[in-house]
């Protein structure tokens, strides 16, 4: 599965990074590792700074019968767009939009 994490605040106040996009065979285990600050450097830094996250989106339309490379391909397509905020339902909810 491909997933999007939304951090409750920016990792670095001088940069807009507030999302992490990844893929995993075992999503639950991967999320547990992220919460422990393992796996991705961004999640490690977030944990060190006391920044929490939510799983904002999961793309599971790619079924188990497909090869794992398909997940990786989807992840790369999404990352190439360099705009995870656009895919984030938390950032795009009416409560988060400026009035």
The 3-state secondary structure of 52-94, one letter per residue: CEEEEEEECCCCCCCCHHHHHHHHHHHHHCCCHHHHCCCCCCC
46 to 5, 17, 40, 49, 64: CA distances (angstroms): 12, 11, 10, 5, 31
Residue 10 falls inside a structural domain: yes
Q: How many domains does the chain have?
A: 1
pTM: 0.77
Range of the domain at 37: 2-87
**Could you state, in chain order, the average pLDDT of each consecutive group of 10 residues for the chain (99 residues)?**
91 86 89 91 93 90 57 65 74 64
Residue 80 falls inside a structural domain: yes
Residue 98 falls inside a structural domain: no
């Amino acid at each position: 599965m491909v997933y999007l994490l939304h951090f409750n605040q920016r990792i670095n106040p001088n940069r807009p990074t507030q999302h992490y996009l990844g893929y995993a065979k075992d999503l639950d285990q991967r999320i547990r590792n992220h919460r422990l600050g393992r796996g991705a450097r961004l999640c490690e830094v977030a944990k060190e700074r006391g920044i929490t996250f939510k799983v904002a989106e999961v793309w599971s339309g790619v079924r188990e019968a497909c090869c794992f490379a398909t997940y990786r391909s989807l992840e790369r397509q999404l990352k190439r767009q360099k705009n995870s905020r656009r895919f984030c339902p938390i950032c795009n909810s009416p409560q988060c939009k400026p009035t």
